[in-house]
């Protein structure tokens, strides 16, 4: 009886190993066939959503930028632009707190929100592009641009930007990393509305 059970177990293990080998061989052949089809320009099953723009973002650009020399250069560009945007924001807040500062806020933050939304759409995370925080920051930009004298809209954006948006600065793992553009945009989306509304409430409105 024990010999029979041992024989059955041994046969089962041989069949399992053979099945695993067959699966690995099939996967290798499938990957090889896909590579040949891609090289010949044929369509590969499972890649219908890879538009030319997504192929550019997901395959071509990473291979180009994330080589050693290009990655260092890209980090340098992000570092320079990150510092420039942050220091210009501080300068405009101190030098032109009642007029040009808000223009700078509207233009730069709107560009950052649109850039962030385009990035998430291209990489396939569409719902990240329409989450609460960037939509709230965009509503503030629309308020500053088109409805600066409307008290009800001021109360609304002030409430949202200084409650949920300000709280998520600490809860949402926002960090100041100058060489990472997405981290800079995320921090600006959460922090800039709070600073701008603080300036508007306690400085610009009494000044006017």
User: What is the tens place of the pLDDT at every residue in 167-207?
Assistant: 888 887 788 887 788 888 889 999 999 999 999 999 888 87
Our count of domains for the chain comes to: 2
Residues 6+ apart with CB under 8 A from 92: 100, 101, 104, 105
pLDDT in tens, 147-164: 988 999 999 999 999 988
Query: In 10 A of CB 1, how many CB atoms?
Result: 5
User: In this structure, are 183 and 101 located in the same domain?
Assistant: yes
Range of the domain at 42: 1-48
User: In this structure, are 1 and 31 located in the same domain?
Assistant: yes
User: In this structure, are 9 and 83 located in the same domain?
Assistant: no
User: In this structure, are 81 and 184 located in the same domain?
Assistant: yes
Of 153, 155, 113, 154, give the one whose Cα is nearest residue 133.
113
Rounded to two decimals, the pTM is: 0.66
User: In this structure, are 36 and 60 located in the same domain?
Assistant: no
């Amino acid at each position: 009886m024990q010999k029979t059970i041992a024989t059955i177990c041994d046969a089962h293990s041989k069949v399992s190993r053979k099945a695993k080998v067959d699966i690995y061989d099939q996967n290798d052949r499938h990957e090889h066939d896909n590579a040949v089809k891609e090289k010949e320009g044929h369509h590969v099953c499972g890649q219908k959503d890879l538009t030319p723009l997504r192929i550019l973002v997901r395959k071509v650009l990473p291979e180009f930028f994330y080589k050693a020399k290009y990655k260092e250069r890209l980090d340098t560009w992000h570092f320079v632009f990150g510092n420039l945007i942050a220091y210009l924001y501080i300068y405009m807040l101190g030098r032109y707190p009642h007029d040009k500062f808000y223009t700078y806020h509207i233009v730069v933050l709107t560009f950052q929100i649109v850039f962030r939304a385009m990035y998430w759409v291209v990489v396939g995370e569409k719902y990240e592009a329409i989450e609460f925080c960037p939509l709230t920051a965009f509503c503030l930009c629309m308020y500053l641009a088109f409805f600066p004298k409307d008290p009800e809209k001021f109360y609304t954006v002030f409430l949202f930007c200084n409650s949920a948006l300000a709280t998520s600065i600490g809860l949402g793992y926002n960090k100041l990393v100058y060489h990472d553009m997405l981290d800079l945009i995320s921090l600006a989306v959460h922090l800039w509305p709070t600073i701008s509304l603080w300036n508007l409430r306690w400085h610009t409105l009494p000044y006017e």
